[in-house]
Amino acid sequence: MSENNSNLRSQRAARVSTDEVSACALSSEEQGKLLHLQQTILESVVCGADHHEVIDQVCRLAEGLLPRSVGSVMLLDSAREALNVYAAPSLPPQGWSRLNGMRPGPGAGSCGNAVFRQEPQFVSNTFQDPRWSDLRQLAYDFNLCACWSVPIYALDRKVVGTFALSSFENRAPSVFHQQLLEVGASIIGIVLERKRSRESLRLYQKVLEGSGEGVMITDAEERILLVNKAFSRIFGYESEDIVGDTPRCLSSGQHERAFYEAMWESLRLFGHWRGEIWNRRRNGEVFPEWLSIAAVRTEDGQITHYIGTFSDITERKSAEARIEFLSSHDALTGLPNRELFREQLEAAIGLAESNGGKLALLQINLDNFRFLNDSLGHAASDRILTILAARLRQAVAAGDLLCRKGGDEFLLALTQVADTEALNAAVEALLAQLATPVSCADGSWSLSASVGIALFPDDGHGFETLSRCADTALRHAKDAGRNTYRYFTERLNSDGIEYLRITQGLRNALSGGQLVLHYQPQIDLASGALIGAEALIRWQHPGDGLLSPDRFIRIAEKTGLIVEIGNWVLHEACRQAQAWRQAGHAAMTVAVNVSAIQFRRGGIEQAVRAALEASGLAPECLELELTESVLLGGAGNMSAVFERLKDLGVKLSIDDFGTGYSSLAYLKRLRIDRLKIDQSFIRDVVDDGNDAAIVCAIIEMARALNLRTIAEGVETAAQRSFLLEHHCDESQGYFYARPLPPEQFAAFAWPQP
């Protein structure tokens, strides 16, 4: 099991590295090279290759991607005082002796500086760079003209060594080479961790063999000598039924000859094999299992026995299939989710484009469904949604595409559009089908729907464009009284006018003092005490009244105004928190949402420092809420900014955790304090098993990583009780209070006697 976890960590690190490469806009060829390197190394790790062999392989593969270079790995000694060469397959032995005992410091070359400064060091000219002052003669002797080195980290985030590429010509690393070094260092760190844990893994495997896993021992001719009780439970064979036979009696017949040949080749070369295999129980049932086989050898290398351990992974395979399904489908209705629908629609558009056809994208919204939801409750409204989704599925023709976009909205792509008259008839029939009464919750309920229609190729050629047009048409269908449909036309597209109006208004809002902050209390679940507040921006518009950020934040991000607005929020939130502190109230944390654009534009660190200095607020009282897009947007400079903010004393949390691309490597790499569980999971956590499982998984993962969790969108006592029972740390939501202006928040937080 621990071995599997190690492999999973390796694969996860590889996926993260690939994501970062994509974020840095590498060419497809460069991405392919990195992916090939990762796959090659991971195959060696999975096959059980010796750690030193794997690390040498990393160095050689990296050298192959940078001509005229040598790769090397140096590790700190047990006292963490000096670096010694651990692997350098292309470096002469005399080079090893010259490097061994290197003490990290400002003149100790790229590797010594990478450990000393705990950050990558890219030296393009070792003959002149002051970082090579102590090793200049070494550079001359071996013609090491450039050297690039990155730290290798252990699981506890401590630097344990460096991975470096030294070049025989002066040059600076490209983005591709930087990513190559980061990927290599990450894999080397995992391999070293695997080496350190090998003894504990052996002990753990023995415990498993004695308790839960099936065990079979055969002689060198594969005759079964012994099986344990767990084996009998899994396969249905008692010991006396199978001893003397061969494992071929368990064969399912589902694997080809090449599969078994590869298995025995691995046993001959490496002495072991492990993998997934399908076998047959005594009753004829075929099932998946995880099988590990080890060859037992004499001192002179002769095989005497084989030991096989078996784990029935039927439930795990079912869970994996369920997870795979849920990753691309809606848990409630079983329909494809938006991302799968996007892929399917893009494929359908390509087909229509090639044969000159047309298709229609329909955005369907159930009218006044929120009222029904509030009246009947989530369970009944979910049942109604399921029934209506089934009706939609039955109504669409073969080749048409359907998904639940979210809430009470669906997307439907009609891929065979003959003409407008036929399309009108199809939509009207669809509306009639949805309007048929639904029997549920001791009543019969009728619902209407509004539909917005966008056409390919008339209104656009891609998913995003067509989706935006259909959404615009849907708004006009609702404005027309609902229970109808509207096509998108350029005349209906008033988004441009609204965009200009909001943009100009925001400029006036910044200069005219129209922006205000409301504060939503954050509560410790165990004690019920107030521990902080989230600062939420509002716009006191002179004509439209108080506007929520949904009306203007996206436009602010598109225009770049978000940077100025974000700086204002930082200053105002810090000022207000310090004002409450000076009024004699207990210190608490104020959380501020930070846009990804604020990070990418640069200056966020300076803005935070300026806000803290201007207000006098202690850094530990400020928390920055970051989205996953910020964390995944670029590992190098961004990680350095996060580290400096943490060194300043500011807290960092991940907002809306689990709703984006949840690559978990950054939780290990960055010093995050808190995960915020998105309200979309909290809304139905009491009634929806999928949401409950997700919430519990997030909480358990956070506890394992020593992170605190806070649930947003808590609206009921039942939700609070669920979170408390499952050890969530903190919560916020309408159950406690809505976002409040400063004076109302103070009255809530510190009521007068």
The CATH number of the domain holding residue 735 is 3.20.20.450
Determine the Cα–Cα distance for residues 55 and 87; give it in Å rounded to an integer: 7
The 10 Å Cβ neighbour count of residue 751 is 7
Beta strands at 443-445 and 438-440: parallel, antiparallel or unpaired: antiparallel
- Are 647 and 624 a contacting pair, CB within 8 Å? no
For residues 367 and 292, membership in a common domain is answered with no
The 10 Å Cβ neighbour count of residue 304 is 10
Tell me what pLDDT residue 671 has.
82
Tell me whether residue 319 is in a domain.
no
- Are 546 and 538 a contacting pair, CB within 8 Å? yes
Angle at 379 between CA 394 and CA 548, to 5 degrees: 95
Tokens of 536: 């939420």
Q: Select, from the ranges 52-66, 274-288, 569-583, the one with the highest average predicted confidence (pLDDT).
A: 569-583
Tell me what pLDDT residue 19 has.
43
Domain boundary among the residues 151, 167, 196 is at: 196
Range of the domain at 354: 333-493
For residues 239 and 208, membership in a common domain is answered with yes
Tell me whether residue 429 is in a domain.
yes
Measured between alpha carbons, how far apart are the two ends of the chain, in Å?
A: 58
Tokens of 236: 């249905």
**Which tens digit of pLDDT belongs to each residue from 294-311?**
988 888 888 889 988 888
- Percent of the chain residues past pLDDT 90, beyond the cut: 38
Burial (Cβ within 10 Å: 0-12, 13-18, ≥19) of residue 644? middle
- Are 661 and 19 a contacting pair, CB within 8 Å? yes
Indicate whether 15 pLDDT > 60.
no
**734 or 155, which is more confident:** 734
For residues 217 and 189, membership in a common domain is answered with no
**Which tens digit of pLDDT belongs to each residue from 397-416?**
888 888 988 888 899 988 88
Tokens of 256: 């080809």
Determine the Cα–Cα distance for residues 125 and 363; give it in Å rounded to an integer: 59
For residues 657 and 718, membership in a common domain is answered with yes
Tell me whether residue 559 is in a domain.
yes
For residues 375 and 443, membership in a common domain is answered with yes
Burial (Cβ within 10 Å: 0-12, 13-18, ≥19) of residue 327? exposed
Indicate whether 200 pLDDT > 60.
no
Torsion of CA 61, 62, 67, 69, to 10 degrees: -120
Tell me whether residue 512 is in a domain.
yes
Domain boundary among the residues 168, 196, 224 is at: 196
For residues 135 and 214, membership in a common domain is answered with no
Angle at 71 between CA 642 and CA 12, to 5 degrees: 45
Tell me whether residue 155 is in a domain.
yes
Distances from the Cα of 229 to the Cα of 78, 239, 247, 305, angstroms: 44, 8, 16, 20
Q: How confident is the model at residue 16 (pLDDT cuts 50, 70, 90)?
A: very low
Closest-CA residue to 554 (of 625, 483, 604, 502): 502
pTM of the model: 0.41
Tokens of 495: 């988004």
For residues 614 and 528, membership in a common domain is answered with yes
Domain boundary among the residues 196, 228, 257 is at: 196
Q: How confident is the model at residue 631 (pLDDT cuts 50, 70, 90)?
A: low
For residues 463 and 514, membership in a common domain is answered with no
The CATH number of the domain holding residue 173 is 3.30.450.40
Determine the Cα–Cα distance for residues 186 and 152; give it in Å rounded to an integer: 7
The CATH number of the domain holding residue 370 is 3.30.70.270
Closest-CA residue to 135 (of 166, 159, 178): 166
For residues 371 and 442, membership in a common domain is answered with yes
Indicate whether 649 pLDDT > 60.
yes
For residues 566 and 686, membership in a common domain is answered with yes
Inter-axis angle of helices 175-196 and 2-23, nearest 10: 170
Tell me whether residue 321 is in a domain.
no
Tell me whether residue 687 is in a domain.
yes
Indicate whether 658 pLDDT > 90.
no
Tell me whether residue 323 is in a domain.
no
Angle at 696 between CA 693 and CA 702, to 5 degrees: 140
The CATH number of the domain holding residue 213 is 3.30.450.20
Tell me what pLDDT residue 25 has.
61
The average confidence (pLDDT) of the chain is 85
Helix segments in 517-560, DSSP class H = 553-559
For residues 69 and 185, membership in a common domain is answered with yes
Q: How many domains does the chain have?
A: 4
Tell me what pLDDT residue 339 has.
86
For residues 108 and 67, membership in a common domain is answered with yes
Please state the φ and ψ torsions of residue 406, each to the nearest 5 degrees: 150, 150
- Are 250 and 279 a contacting pair, CB within 8 Å? yes
